Amino acid sequence: MSFRDYFALVKPKIIPLLVMVALGSTMVAERGLPPLRILVGVLGGGAVASAGALALNSYLEIGIDAQMKRTRSRPLPSQRIVPPSHALVLGIVLVACGVALAFLTVDLVATFFVALGAFVYVPVYTLWLKPRTAWNIVLGGFAGSCAALAGWYAVTSSEAAAGWILAALVFVWTPTHFWSLAVITGEDYSAVGIPMLPSVVGAARASRYIVANTMILIPVSLLLSFYLYPPGLYVYLAVAVLFDLLLLATNIKLFVTPIRENAWLAFKFSSPYLAVIFLAAIVSVLV
């Protein structure tokens, strides 16, 4: 048992992306850098609450993780953290601290979305959706959308449509990203009885859904341009169009030849996509 094991428990690779989403949303809403209080509440509170939700997910999925090749070396299934209840306590404490920090620094609406993100991810997605429906990640993606909504409403309640566009961007990106990974790990999900879409319908059919979902993602990403102004608008459009086309190209390649190598390429390219789009939005308002 070590700090590194507890750090791995909260899946630290996911948190920076959620922080980027929240930061991008606050900066687009503010048209610049928001006050420190908002950054502490939304970024700090959101990151801590998200870490808690991810720790709870790790605790609730010990049995599943122990049976899957991709996850069996994680701290809980490999018994590097014992007893497992330590993860449960850590998760609850982190979620409570994150929500409390948001409550003390930003308004109630933003705090609500910080709390809602944790709620959607743990009881809604992990406990209810994931073991029951092949569309689990589609609905569960709203947990990430809450980071964008918390960021927006911490700054303003005006032009809320732009905040919901940012939330929709996260929501629609999630299936494209995760289904590509699930094409690779479909056998693992089948073995543990988790109905992830590619393991249910097969790689070939899942690749069609990935392309269709990306075709929805592209116009959503471009909708934000209606709320940006030149010259930053042109920066955002250039980046968004380029990465939209590249993402679509990797998805079409997977559709044409639904093999693991192409699924891995689609997954690896989709991984930075969301961060790049939100970074482009940040640059657009700074310009």
pTM to 2 decimal places: 0.95
In order of 17, 236, 263, the CA distances from 167 in angstroms are 13, 17, 25
* Average pLDDT estimate for 41-50: 98
The answer to whether residues 217 and 248 touch, using CB atoms and an 8 Å cutoff, is no
The answer to whether residues 83 and 123 touch, using CB atoms and an 8 Å cutoff, is no
Q: What percent of the chain is modeled with pLDDT above 70?
A: 100
The answer to whether residues 272 and 164 touch, using CB atoms and an 8 Å cutoff, is no
pLDDT per position as a tens digit, 192-204: 999 999 999 999 9
Query: Phi, psi (5° rounding) for residue 72?
Result: -65, -15
Confidence check: pLDDT of 235 > 80: yes
Domains and CATH numbers, the chain: 1-155 (1.10.357.140), 159-287 (1.20.120)
Confidence check: pLDDT of 132 > 70: yes
The pLDDT assigned to 80 comes to: 93
* Average pLDDT estimate for 95-124: 98
pLDDT band of 145, cuts 50, 70, 90: very high
Average pLDDT value over all residues in the chain: 95
pLDDT per position as a tens digit, 152-166: 999 999 889 999 999
Pairwise CA distance, residues 74 & 254, whole Å: 29
Confidence check: pLDDT of 35 > 90: yes
Confidence check: pLDDT of 1 > 80: no
The answer to whether residues 247 and 210 touch, using CB atoms and an 8 Å cutoff, is no
Pairwise CA distance, residues 242 & 239, whole Å: 5
